[in-house]
Amino acid sequence: MPIFLLAFVMTFLAVPVWAADIVSTRFALLTDRYDHCVLGDCIEYGAVEAVLDDGRILSYRLDENSVFEDVEPRLVPMGLNGRKAILVVRSYQNKGAALALLDQRGGKLVIAAESEPIGLRYRWQNPIGVGDFDRDRKLEIATVITPHIGGRLTLYERQGNKLVEDVQTQSFSNHKMGSSQLDLHEVIDWNKDGIMDIVVPDMSRGELQVLSFVGAKTQVIDKRSFSGTIGGPIVASETGLLVGLEDGNQESWPYPH
């Protein structure tokens, strides 16, 4: 084989087949095998698909022991080399919900990292978002574990194929039982210090709190009560947060000057 052709082949083989980026993602395969019904009906998902920028579609299918108890998969910058990965809630029949990151390897979509499940059947969590919340130069996933029972706001860091708990604080709720509305939170640099903060309702969902986690210490840096129970969505605008209430009204919370 000519040297130039051999070099071309070796270069081609050195490029991993998963080098394409994930550009969109969606759930598939409706299932009723897990009847928790926390999101308004008893239908969950048994598979997730990833659309790559080269046109390929990859799929990952769960076995009968778990489901994706979620509304939409999320693209987050936690894959290999900063690439996009897929963040989902995976619920086990007898152990409840875990966070799972899916990434592409060898031309396949795989579970790349996962947290420990909550440990009990019918226990769920609602992810908030991703950011370097504690200023340690590592990305964390923020989630509220059991938002209907105690509400543990937890930060996870990725360590290899595991999502490991980093920080935890109590008494927050970003979901109403039986609702498909998950956006009862926001990730934003509230005090303009260059570090992302988390905005989330307290356990009563009558008050929003802005939490800082700098140095792995939880600090409430701002809070505000509302005229009704927060039902979402919570949306960041140019001037402040727009907060949806359960009665259908919307109230605003201007950013601090």
Cα 131 to Cα 198: distance, rounded to the nearest angstrom = 10
pLDDT of residue 18: 46
Backbone angles phi, psi at 3, to 5 degrees: -60, -40
Instruction: Look at residue 215 and give its three-state secondary structure.
Output: helix
pLDDT in tens, the chain (257 residues): 555 444 444 443 444 444 689 999 999 999 999 999 999 999 999 999 999 999 999 999 999 999 999 999 999 998 767 789 999 999 999 999 999 999 999 899 999 999 999 999 999 999 999 999 999 999 999 999 999 999 999 999 999 999 999 999 999 999 999 999 999 999 999 999 999 999 999 999 999 999 999 998 999 999 999 999 999 999 999 999 999 999 999 999 999 97
Torsion on CA atoms 192, 198, 202, 203, rounded to nearest 10? 180
Taking a C-beta distance cutoff of 8 angstroms, is the pair 209, 216 a contact? no
Cα 175 to Cα 114: distance, rounded to the nearest angstrom = 22
Torsion on CA atoms 192, 197, 202, 205, rounded to nearest 10? 80
Full set of structural domains in the chain with CATH: 22-254 (2.130.10.130)
